[in-house]
Amino acid sequence: MTETIINLDTVNPIEFFGVNNGKLDILKRKFPLLKILSRGTQIKLSGAPEQIETAKEKIALLIQYMERNGHMSENYLEQILGGDDEKAIDNFIERNPNDVLVFGPNGKTVRARTQNQKIMVQACDKNDIVFAIGPAGTGKTYTAVALAVRALKNKLVKKIILTRPAVEAGESLGFLPGDLKEKIDPYLRPLYDALDDMIPADKLSYYMQTRTIEIAPLAYMRGRTLDNAFIILDEAQNTNDLQIKMFLTRIGPNAKAIITGDPTQIDLPKNQQSGLFKATRVLKHIDGISYIELDEEDVVRHRLVKSIIKAYNKDDERIMKEKEQDKK
């Protein structure tokens, strides 16, 4: 058995270990064969030499991240510890200033955080239409909005148009209080939240008043030609064939569009099929249209979201197998 001590002189040990040693417990779960103890500003590792070396490398990455950012959420801790190759590590540690998409209020930087999000950014740079498909929490909408804001700030487009189908997720719009705008706004709230992270409140208010940034239900796009604009269709899994075709044929010259969707969260009536599936199948091989798939490894929300998605996927696979056996 080998022992080694790592000093945390350059970071705040309280932030590093977490409240009630919550982050230290995550580190211990990652290396169950090691004995890991915290002593003031030190970590003591005891165990097999090869395990200690691997743990030292990961702890060095955590320290490097803390030195650059001053803090580290449990979610980021999980993802850094889970990165087993240079690309995964690069998503968190080797920060290139040129990778920043947007500088938000109070100096906040918005960037692609995972490998597939980076691929999404590259696809948008090279193509005018991008389909970004994946489960909840993978940063599809957030990355798309960041790309739109970047394009506006760089004067590549004159306006941003954000749209969603106003599909009821088990609730009836008719029973909600208020006028039409007040009924619709909750469906569009994720788009507002993303913009709040990237544009100061006063400037965002000005953009909204001048319609430089427009957020509207998908039905409001009918009959329009969207030129010199960056357009995002969010929650596209809740469109039918005619709706998504209508949206795609609104795109005018000097415009870019990103279509995001989560095939596992379709809120359409049972007798309607999602138009997203046909669109990705029919348009996938057209030059200038790119298709990006994100998965649970791209989840950047709470660390449990990834586990929740995996659990549901596993249960879906079980149900499919049972159905196949019943057919036999």
* 46-77 pLDDT, tens digit each: 999 888 898 888 888 888 777 766 677 777 78
Residues 40 and 179 grouped into a single domain: no
- 């696979």: which residue's tokens? 317
Return the CA Rg of the chain.
Answer: 23
Residues 186 and 48 grouped into a single domain: no
Number of domains in the chain: 2
Q: Could you tell me the CATH number of the domain that includes residue 300?
A: 3.40.50.300
- Residue span of the structural domain in which 33 resides: 2-90
Residues 17 and 129 grouped into a single domain: no
**Domain contains 325:** no
Residues 263 and 299 grouped into a single domain: yes
Residues 52 and 120 grouped into a single domain: no
**Domain contains 324:** no
Query: So what's the pLDDT on residue 306?
Result: 64
What's the mean pLDDT in 189-215?
89
Which of 10-14, 216-220, 262-266, 277-281 is most confident? 277-281
What's the mean pLDDT in 287-306?
78
Residues 148 and 227 grouped into a single domain: yes
For residue 187, pLDDT over 80 is answered with no
Query: So what's the pLDDT on residue 115?
Result: 80
Distance, in Å, from the CA atom of 165 to the CA atom of 184, rounded to the nearest integer, reads: 10
Residues 166 and 71 grouped into a single domain: no
Residues 210 and 155 grouped into a single domain: yes
Residues 68 and 197 grouped into a single domain: no
List pLDDT tens digits, range 109-124. 788 877 888 899 999 9
**Domain contains 327:** no
Q: Which of 59, 90, 121 is the last residue of a domain?
A: 90
Q: What percent of the chain has pLDDT over 70?
A: 84
**Domain contains 163:** yes
Least confident of 9-13, 105-109, 312-316: 105-109
Q: Could you tell me the CATH number of the domain that includes residue 47?
A: 3.30.1370.10
Which of 170-179, 182-191, 245-254, 318-327 is most confident? 245-254
Long-range contacts of 104-108 (CB under 8 A, 24+ apart): 104/197, 104/198, 104/199, 105/197, 105/198, 105/199, 105/200, 105/201, 108/197
Distance, in Å, from the CA atom of 268 to the CA atom of 286, rounded to the nearest integer, reads: 27
**Domain contains 243:** yes
Distances in Å between the Cα of 236 and the Cα atoms of 74, 170, 194, 292, 294 are 31, 17, 17, 14, 15
Query: So what's the pLDDT on residue 279?
Result: 92
Residues 79 and 159 grouped into a single domain: no
Query: So what's the pLDDT on residue 112?
Result: 83
What's the mean pLDDT in 117-146?
91
Q: Which of 90, 108, 125 is the last residue of a domain?
A: 90
Residues 258 and 118 grouped into a single domain: yes
Query: So what's the pLDDT on residue 165?
Result: 85
Residue 210, Cβ neighbours under 10 Å: how many?
A: 10
Residues 81 and 102 grouped into a single domain: no
List pLDDT tens digits, range 140-171. 999 999 999 999 998 999 999 998 887 644 44
Mean pLDDT (the chain) is 82
**Domain contains 328:** no
